[in-house]
Amino acid sequence: MKPMNRVFNLLIATACVLTISRSAGAYIDAGSGSYLLQILFAGILGGFFVAKTAFRNLILVITRRIHPQENSDSVTHVR
């Protein structure tokens, strides 16, 4: 087995361990691979999103300080 394939299979196995295997309950086929891919990238996706939102909010705060008349409602809240 090629090293890349070994890494890939290990990632899938890890993702499987992280999950509880129950029916997805969707009327469409959610796809095992699609689920696993999302779980594998969960940390990166979430991390990037939090960082991006924080950066945007920082820019908004700075902009508001420079132009105080700007609307303060546009700040995004990370969940």
Partner 1 sequence: MSADHKLCASFRDPSGFIFMKEGDLLRQVNPPYEPHYKKLMGSGLYGQLTGKGLLISHEEVDTGLAMSEGAIAVLKPDRIPFISYPYEWCFSQLKAAALATLEIQQSAIQLDMVLKDASAYNIQFHKGRPTLIDTLSFETYVPGTPWKAYKQFCQHFVAPLVLMSHVDVRLSKLTASFIDGIPLDLASKISKSATKFSPRVAMHLHLHAQMQAKAAHSTVPAQTRGAFNKNSLLGLIDSLQGLIEKLSWKPEGTEWGDYYSDTNYSSSSMSTKHQVVNEYLDLVTPQPAMVWDLGANNGEFSSLASARGIPTIAWDIDPAAVEKNYLKRSNDPYMLPLMQDLTNPSPAIGWNNKERDSFLQRGPADVVMALALIHHLAIGNNVPLADIATFMNDVGRWLIIEFVPKEDSQVQRLLSTREDVYPGYTQQGFEREFGQRFELVRATAIPDTRRTLYLMRGKG
Backbone angles phi, psi at 29, to 5 degrees: -80, 110
Q: How far is the CB of 75 from partner 1 (least distance, A)?
A: 14
- Per-residue contact string for residues 51-70; x = within reach of partner 1 by CB under 8 A: -x------------------
**What is the rounded CA–CA span in Å between residue 65 and residue 42?**
34
Q: Choose, by CB under 8 A, the member of 30, 54, 58, 62 that binds partner 1.
A: 30
Contact yes or no for 76/53 (Cβ under 8 A): yes
Contact yes or no for 39/19 (Cβ under 8 A): yes
- Residue whose CB is less far from partner 1, 23 or 69: 23
Q: Decide if residue 1 touches partner 1 (CB under 8 A).
A: no
